[in-house]
Amino acid sequence: MANEKVIVFQGDSVTDCGRNYKDPYELGKGYAMIAASLLAASDTDTSYTFYNRGISGNRVKDLRARWEEDCIALKPDVVSILIGINDCWRRYDQNDPTSTEQFESGYRELLEHTKQTGAEILLLEPFVLPYPVDREAWREDLDPKIQVVRKLAREFQAPLVPLDGLFASKLYDKPAPFWAEDGVHPTYAGHAIIAKAWRDAYQKLENRAD
């Protein structure tokens, strides 16, 4: 095939989703696998290589520590990033907060490094659903970080997948546990929602190339 593209999915457990670390091409059981399948099936003129390098528990600082090996070295054409919920969560379960300023500076460093390679960037905003009820208190910490991701998407002209707002709208259809049993980790239905939204955002990159 004349067209070849490398796409890297980066993030935390929502991206990781039980992938086999011993298989470099294994995509896990979540949105990365679904999104890759949708894209490969819809664009048969392009030969895609997909990598999932999400690691459960990761924060922005963890991505920074492994970015050269787990992203840049893969020579991606497109880098998809979903990070931020653990930068919030660790404040509440381990008393180890990440300030909004630290989150933004670390995230911007990742994006600047990536842009220098010529790769396109696609950003997914972190999200939390109001279940269990203690998740509602996380809004104080997570909402500013969501705004950072939206700001960076504009700054780096990266298509944005607005997951927090998207899942909020889905609560009118089904209760929170239907989409994410603990408010954070999606069910199969939740992963399907992310994958479809990811594909829509990726279309913007394709349109830009045209």
Catalytic residues: 13, 182, 185
Q: What phi and psi, each to the nearest 5 degrees, are found at residue 82?
A: -130, 105
Give the number of other Cβ atoms within 10 Å of residue 27's Cβ.
Answer: 22
Compute the 3-state secondary structure of the chain and give helix, strand, coil in percent, each to the nearest 5. 55, 15, 30
Q: Which long-range contacts (CB under 8 A, 24 or more apart) does 91-97 make?
A: 91/141, 92/134, 92/137, 92/138, 92/141, 97/141
With vertex at residue 133, the alpha carbon angle to CA 124 and CA 167, rounded to the nearest 5 degrees, is 30
Name residue, tokens 């911007």.
108
d(CA 67, CA 53): 10
